[in-house]
């Protein structure tokens, strides 16, 4: 039987993963700003990297609350490292984490495939757009311009927070690292029982 609750180990591992992504987040800023002058919202194609912590952490640890905790911790790390967006990154982190968490909750934390990762990425993207509207960042854009921004951000979100997150975890699975932090399932116990039968 798999225990769903977060243990101290789960929390610490999630925070470590999130801090690593927090460093990536802060280093990602210059690339975002380098693309900004090019126009056509090309910078939004890399925006999805800021959503990767939640889906990646959940796919690794596979427990409720991990995606939200990871996004908050990553945003906190980014803030402490000197994010140009200041405290607002924490609010964005919370909202993006909540939206991703909602997707994992909707499948009862039992699906860990690419589709779920992509949908969680899309949900985080929607959360970020809501925050942009709340902050008045994009409300002055014409409809066609807003649509272009949304499409570009959506594409980037699917790629980075969905596809990249999923295959990054697959690479980690191949090394066996994820087995150290995932809860033991009934399948694991069954495998052990089979080994005992051969002794």
The domain in which residue 171 lies consists of 8-197
Within a domain: 3: no
pTM summary value: 0.83
Within a domain: 1: no
Buried b (16+ CB within 10 A) or exposed e, 19-56: bebbebbbebbeebeebeeeeebebbbbbbbbbbbbbb
Number of domains in the chain: 1
Within a domain: 2: no
Within a domain: 170: yes
- DSSP letter (8 states) at residue 27: H
Instruction: Give residue 194's pLDDT.
Output: 55
Within a domain: 108: yes
Instruction: Give residue 120's pLDDT.
Output: 97
Q: pLDDT tens-digit profile of 90-119?
A: 899 999 999 999 999 999 999 999 999 999
Q: pLDDT tens-digit profile of 113-125?
A: 999 999 999 999 9
Within a domain: 121: yes
Q: pLDDT tens-digit profile of 14-61?
A: 888 888 887 888 888 889 889 988 888 999 999 999 999 999 999 998
Name the least confident of 9-13, 21-25, 70-74, 189-193.
Answer: 189-193
Q: pLDDT tens-digit profile of 129-157?
A: 999 999 888 988 899 999 999 999 999 99
Instruction: Give residue 3's pLDDT.
Output: 52
Q: pLDDT tens-digit profile of 170-198?
A: 998 888 877 777 765 555 445 444 544 44
Compute the distance between CA of residue 191 and CA of residue 19 in angstroms, rounded to an integer: 34
């Amino acid at each position: 039987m798999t225990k769903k609750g977060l243990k101290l180990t789960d929390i610490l591992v999630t925070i470590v993963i999130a801090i690593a992504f927090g460093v990536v987040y802060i280093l990602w800023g210059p690339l975002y700003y380098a693309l900004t002058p090019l126009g056509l919202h090309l910078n939004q194609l890399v925006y999805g990297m800021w959503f990767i912590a939640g889906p990646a952490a959940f796919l690794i640890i596979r427990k409720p609350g991990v995606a939200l905790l990871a996004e908050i911790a990553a945003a906190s790390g980014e803030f402490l490292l000197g994010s140009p967006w200041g405290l607002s990154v924490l609010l964005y982190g919370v909202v993006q984490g909540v939206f991703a968490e909602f997707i994992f909750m909707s499948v009862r934390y039992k699906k860990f495939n690419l589709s779920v990762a992509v949908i969680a990425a899309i949900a985080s993207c929607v959360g970020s757009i809501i925050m942009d509207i709340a902050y008045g960042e994009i409300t002055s854009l014409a409809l066609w311009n807003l649509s272009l921004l949304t499409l570009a951000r959506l594409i980037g979100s699917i790629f980075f927070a969905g596809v990249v997150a999923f295959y990054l975890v697959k690479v980690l699975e191949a090394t066996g690292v994820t087995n150290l932090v995932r809860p033991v399932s009934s399948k694991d116990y069954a495998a052990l029982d089979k080994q005992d039968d051969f002794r």
